[in-house]
Amino acid sequence: MSVNPVVLGVDSSTQSCKVEVRELASGRLLARGSAPHPPAFPPNSEQHPRAWITAFVDAARDALRRCADPVQVRALAVAAQCHGLVLLGNDGQPLRPAKLWNDTTGAPNLARLTATIGADAWLRRIGSTPTAAFTIAKVAWIAEHEPATLDRAATMLLPHDYLTFWLTGAAVTDRSDASGTGYFDSVPGEWLPEYLTLAGGDRDWVAMLPEVLGPCQVAGRVRPVALADLGLDGSDILVAAGGGDQHAAYLGLGLTDGDQYIGIGTSGVIATSSRAPVYDGSGMIDGVCDLTGGYLPLVSTLNAARVGDVAARLLGTDHTGLADLALAAGDARGPVLVPFLDGERKPDRPDARGALADVTSHTTREEVARAFVEGPLLSLMSGRDQLSRCGITLDGVTAVVGGGARSPATLQLLADLLDDEVLVFDADEATARGACIQAAAVAARTDVAGLVDLAKSWQPAVRQRVSPRARTRDVTALRNRWAELAASPILDSGVSA
């Protein structure tokens, strides 16, 4: 019986691990599997890396079991949540749970580092103004609160690096994920150990850091122990460099420079790609790298889909009911939500709290629902404005991904705010799809140009198009009111738990 050559794409997100099996020759989806991660919430947001392995194994076996015909895995790639800190001992085992991107406990440490290095100097060196989400803040927190753990650390990895390490035994990373650490200069492609010395003291940081691979370089081959755990056959399964989750999703949708990528999941993201680095003195834009040798300037917010969870609970409904209520609100002005419920990272306000303003005795339940759906979108529109102010062209298609893409209210209100068409591609797992594309490029031994061509040839069809509604509501006034409220220092009066 013939076997079908395939690739695996892995998306290890904050909430779960998802694995896709795609035909190597065509990119056709054959099966998909998933498994949950332990819940984690700010300010002290942690997960043990071994839980990621368990979920990865379960999701991969689930996906492979769902394949209708026999398959032979030729290559795989891992994309994962960014910024998290994984510390390994000399035996290659994690020394403690990983601090995740939305762990804000390192905010005071980050503030001290910024005062020492200088915000502008740091920005000019790495392309971003670090926030508490960046890995270096977590390094500094560990150095202050658990110095003995840092003393025992032999290797320091990011979440996707750890899964690649488990697969291959190689300590490697890629430009996209390295550029979100706070200690990597993407232009020359160099680690900055001097910043780590400021964060965690004088030690041999270079020996602890992974090798940074290019987009089409091979990280290694799947080790026998990982083959056995995953239920894979063969001794020559290639593992690609992998990357950050949003970066892989952009590749998975086949997007190019000027296209607008809007992710509405645990976090909110608005991004586009660029061939040149972007430096934003305001600190809103992270000038991180993409998966094709270029850059992916983006604004990433902390509060996105979970704002809808809160709204549904407060209003005594579910997500479908929330969407129905929000769409029924009509064009009345209504209240405005600043959704900094768990602090915020863009803008960098880890101790901020949310605010619902302009409530009157005539405010309806529908208008409150609309405010909660609209609040995270207004945050992203503020980020979009900053991308434009930095000279970034945003004239391509607008693609929405993540859990928010399943909400008709989110899509409609976003189209209304943009006054432009919004697209949802037929790609439920854009990140896993992007990882599959990178794996296929590695299997084909192609270069970056071949990777870009492959992404375009595998670009998914458009599943849904949402056009803006004719309206009398003053969107400009709404956005100005939101900006006024969001700038208020009173939102920072909350105290982190």
CA–CA distance, 195 with 457 (Å, rounded to integer) = 41
What angle (nearest 5°) sits at the alpha carbon of residue 42, between those of residues 370 and 313? 35
CA–CA distance, 48 with 27 (Å, rounded to integer) = 33
In the numeric block, which tokens belong to residue 184?
């990597």
Whether 474 is catalytic: no
Other Cβ atoms less than 10 A from the Cβ of 76: the count is 31
Other Cβ atoms less than 10 A from the Cβ of 169: the count is 15
Burial of 31 (0-12, 13-18, 19+ CB in 10 A): middle
Quick one: CA dihedral 176, 178, 182, 187, positive or negative?
Answer: negative
Which residue is listed with tokens 């129905």? Answer: 324
What CA dihedral angle connects 307, 310, 19 and 270, to 10 degrees?
Answer: 0
CA–CA distance, 431 with 438 (Å, rounded to integer) = 11
The single residue of 245, 280, 286, 342 carrying the catalytic annotation is 245
Quick one: CA dihedral 359, 363, 367, 372, positive or negative?
Answer: positive
Do the Cβ atoms of 210 and 191 come closer than 8 Å? no
CA–CA distance, 320 with 35 (Å, rounded to integer) = 24
- Among 254, 269, 497, 295, residue whose Cα is nearest residue 391: 295
Task: State phi, psi for 35 to the nearest 5 degrees.
Answer: -155, 145
Which residues are part of the catalytic machinery? 245
